[in-house]
C-alpha cells in the first residue's frame, strides 16, 4: 500500500494541463494503485495524478465507499445545478460554496484501456468535475465568483503568503 503525499497550492504541477495517458502498462497500473491507496485515506473524495506530482490525465475517487479511477476522462451531459461547499486536498483547510452540475457523464478508460462510462449525480458528479478540473490545471477556487471568490483569495493569501524576494 502506497499513500503518496499531496502537492499543495503553489506547486506548478497543479497549474499545468496533464498529458494524456498513451500507455496502459505496468507503470500506469502502479500509478492507479497509488492513487486509489491515497484516496482511501479518511476524508478524501478524489485525488488526481497531478496532486501527487504526476502530470498524467488520470484520477481516483472515493464516494460513498466506492473507490474507482478514470483515465483520460471527458465530461459531457451536464445537467442541473448544485451549489454546495467544496474543498481540496491541495488547498487544505479551505472550503467554499462552488457551483457544479448536478449530473454529469464521465467517459474514459480503465487501467487496462477498456472504455469506461461513469454517470455521476450529486456528490459523485461534483467529484468527477473537481478531479477533471485538476487534469486541466484548474483549481476549484478558479471557478468561484463575486464576494465568495474575493473571500477565498484573501484567505488563501493569509494561509499561504507570497514568497519573499531576497
Instruction: Please tell me whether 112 is known to bind a ligand.
Output: no
Q: Is the dihedral of CA 61, 102, 88, 163 positive or negative?
A: positive
Q: Is 131 a catalytic residue?
A: yes
Instruction: Please tell me whether 69 is known to bind a ligand.
Output: no
Contact 14, 134 (CB under 8 A): yes
| Number of CB atoms found within 10 A of residue 65's CB | 5
Instruction: Please tell me whether 88 is known to bind a ligand.
Output: yes
Catalytic residue among 17, 86, 119, 131: 131
Q: C-alpha cell of 23?
A: 500507455
In 3D, which of 89, 98, 82 has the Cα closest to residue 151?
Answer: 98
Binding site listing: 88, 130, 134
Binding site listing for Fe cation: 88, 130, 134
Indicate which residues carry an active-site annotation: 131
Amino acid at each position: 500500500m502506497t499513500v503518496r503525499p499531496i502537492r499543495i497550492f503553489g506547486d506548478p504541477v497543479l497549474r499545468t494541463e496533464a498529458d494524456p495517458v498513451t500507455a496502459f502498462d505496468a507503470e500506469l497500473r502502479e500509478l492507479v494503485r497509488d492513487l486509489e491507496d491515497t484516496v482511501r485515506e479518511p476524508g478524501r473524495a478524489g485525488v488526481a495524478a497531478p496532486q501527487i506530482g504526476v502530470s498524467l490525465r488520470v484520477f481516483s475517487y472515493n464516494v460513498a465507499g466506492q473507490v474507482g479511477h478514470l483515465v483520460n476522462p471527458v465530461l459531457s451531459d451536464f445537467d442541473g445545478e448544485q451549489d454546495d461547499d467544496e474543498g481540496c486536498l491541495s488547498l487544505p483547510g479551505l472550503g467554499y460554496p462552488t457551483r457544479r452540475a448536478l449530473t454529469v457523464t464521465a467517459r474514459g478508460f480503465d487501467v487496462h484501456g477498456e472504455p469506461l462510462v461513469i454517470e455521476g449525480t450529486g456528490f459523485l458528479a461534483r467529484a468527477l468535475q473537481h478531479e477533471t478540473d485538476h487534469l486541466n490545471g484548474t483549481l476549484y477556487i478558479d471557478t468561484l465568483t463575486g464576494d465568495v471568490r474575493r473571500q477565498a483569495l484573501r484567505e488563501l493569501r493569509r494561509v499561504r503568503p507570497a514568497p519573499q524576494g531576497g
